[in-house]
Chains A and B, each alone.
Chain A
């Protein structure tokens, strides 16, 4: 069975400061890893994903995440946040075979303050 732990339920940060949202996973098989973002009263938007290859993946809006197999982590980082980054962030895993049931963490609420 797979599981995802997001270590912080809330992360408050000031605008233009760096941020890291932590995600650890547990799985006995190879996994794909994802970060999704959810703005208030909306569905989930894919932020970035790791399928294979380079362990560092980037999004178009300045976020990046690094797959660390030995530490079973996939932390999300941004060097300088904006007010508009305020949202709920979900880390998810799926196994690499068969159908891709996504297992989500409980989410991290990122609150960016001016």
Chain B
């Protein structure tokens, strides 16, 4: 059974650019959640997708958007990058909306 995978591993962008991060959920999982973990802090919830629909959203501006595909993989898009967007972005999948979340290894985004 394949776990949660994320790509790319690392990414460097400059302010104002746009970025797309990708996540493949664990086999059989239909729910994907995204979190932002700034250096030295706990992860913060960005949003969750359940069966291709956004199911809940944290306190992040609209320039953070996402998609979930029919195979339940997901993308996180961030427009107009800011320096404070530099963080580890974590994707987690779960069997259903309210089930235990299993995390991928993360994508380290650096904004210069």
Interface residues of A (CB under 8 A from B): 4, 34, 36, 42-46, 49, 90, 92, 94, 96-107
Instruction: List 4 tightest A-B contacts by C-beta distance, closest first.
Output: A104-B42, A44-B103, A43-B105, A43-B103
Distance between Cα atoms of A98 and B106 in the complex (Å): 25
Does B41 lie within 8 Å of A106, measured CB to CB? yes
Contact of A44 among B6, B40, B43 (CB under 8 A): B43
Contacts from B to A (Cβ < 8 Å): 4, 6, 31, 33, 35, 40-45, 48, 50, 55-56, 58, 90, 92, 94, 97-106
Are A107 and B50 CB-contacts (below 8 A) given A43-B90, A99-B97? no
Q: Apart from A104-B42, A105-B42, what 6 extra A-B contacts exist at CB < 8 Å? A: A43-B106, A44-B92, A46-B102, A98-B98, A99-B48, A99-B55
Chain B residues whose C-beta falls within 8 Å of the C-beta of A97 in the assembled complex: 98
- In the assembled complex, the Cα of A46 lies from the Cα of B93 at a distance in Å of 12
Shortest distance between the CB of A26 and any CB in chain B (Å): 15
How many interface contacts (CB-CB < 8 Å) are there between A and B? 65
Whether B42 pairs with A101 at a CB distance below 8 angstroms is no
CB distance from A98 to the nearest CB of B (A): 7
A45 and B94 contact, Cβ closer than 8 Å, known pairs A99-B50, A102-B43, A104-B42:
no
CA distance A43 to B3 in the complex (A): 12
Q: Which A residues are CB-close (under 8 A) to B99?
A: 100
Which residues does chain B contribute within 8 Å of A44, judged by CB atoms? 43, 90, 92, 103
B-side contacts of A102, CB under 8 Å: 33, 35, 43, 45, 92, 101
Taking the closest CB of chain B, its distance from the CB of A60, in whole angstroms, is 15
- With A and B bound together, what is the CA distance between A4 and B42 in angstroms? 10
- Among residues of A, the one whose C-beta sits closest to the C-beta of B55 is A99
A103–B99 alpha-carbon span in the complex (Å): 15
